A and B are shown apart, each in its own frame.
Chain A
Amino acid sequence: MMRFMLPLVAFLVLAVFLYIGLGLNPHEVPSPLIGKPAPAFTLPQLHEPAMQFSSQDMLGKVWLLNVWASWCVSCREEHPVLVALARQNIVPVYGLDYKDKREDGEAWLARGGDPYVLSLSDAEGRVGIDYGVYGVPETYVIDKQGVIQYKEIGPITPQKLKEKILPLVAQLQAK
Chain B
Amino acid sequence: MKRILILLLCLMPVFALAGEAKDIAEDPVLEKRMIGLAERLRCLVCQNESLASSHADLAEDLRREVREQMKKGMSDQQIIDYLVARYGDFVLYDPPLKSYTMLLWGGPFLLFLAGGAGLFYQLRKRRESVPEPELTSEAEQRAAALLNGDKET
User: Interface of A with B (CB < 8 Å)?
Assistant: 26-27, 29-33, 99, 124-126, 128-135
Contact = CB atoms under 8 A, between A and B. Distances in A.
22 contacts: A26-B47, A29-B44, A29-B87, A29-B88, A29-B90, A30-B88, A31-B87, A32-B86, A32-B88, A33-B85, A99-B57, A99-B61, A125-B57, A125-B58, A126-B61, A128-B61, A129-B61, A130-B86, A132-B86, A132-B87, A134-B87, A135-B45
Nearest to B118: A6
Given A26-B47, A129-B65, A134 B88 contact: no
Contacts of B87: 29, 31-32, 132, 134
Please classify the interface of chain B as helix (H, G, I), strand (E, B), loop, or mixed, using the class held by over half of its residues: helix
Nearest to B48: A26
Interface string B42-84: 0011010000000001100110010000000000000000001
Contacts of B44: 29, 134-135
Nearest to B60: A125
A168 B124 CA distance: 60
A29 B90 CA distance: 7
A29 B61 CA distance: 19
A130 B61 CA distance: 12
